[in-house]
Amino acid sequence: MAQMKNCDFIIRIHDSEKKFATRSGTSVLSALMPTHGDDITAGCYSGGCGVCKIQVLSGRYATGVMSKVHVTDAEKKDGYCLACKTMPESDLIIRPLRKVPPKIGHRFGYLAR
Ligand code: FES
């Protein structure tokens, strides 16, 4: 249960002391970027590029449409999802993957050509 003021849920980053507050209806990526942007990579914000991939280790959440190129059905069962398409429905513990495929990295400027 969330215990910070003006928030619905607390999201914790696995293997760190970092945690942040968020509101219902806000994606994990949108909630994380203003204060913890160093912990996650953001690209298209629409489920297409895959750079914001995370694994949810605990908690309930809903996801929007995600490309199977970036999150397979088998990965979904293991809690993998795209942060920009993941809406918390309880407190969460997440593990950002921060792996940027080269094609995507070049397109969004994360990798030098
Ligand atoms: S930012 Fe592109 S899929 Fe999430």
Domains of the chain are: 9-106 (3.10.20.30)
Cα 72 to Cα 37: distance, rounded to the nearest angstrom: 25
pLDDT value at position 67?
Answer: 85
pLDDT for 113 beyond 60: no
Residue closest to 54 by CA, chosen among 24, 77, 86:
86
Q: How confident is the model at residue 8 (pLDDT cuts 50, 70, 90)?
A: very high
pLDDT at 58 > cutoff 90:
yes
Check if 52 has its Cβ closer than 6 Å to any atom of ligand 1: yes
Cα–Cα distance list, 97 to 33, 40, 111 (Å): 15, 8, 16
Segment 28-52, tens digit of pLDDT: 999 888 776 677 888 889 998 888 9
Q: Which atom of ligand 1 is nearest to the CA of 41?
A: 1
Determine the atom of ligand 1 nearest the C-alpha atom of 53.
4
Of residues 104 and 82, more confidence is placed in 82
Higher pLDDT, 66 or 102: 66
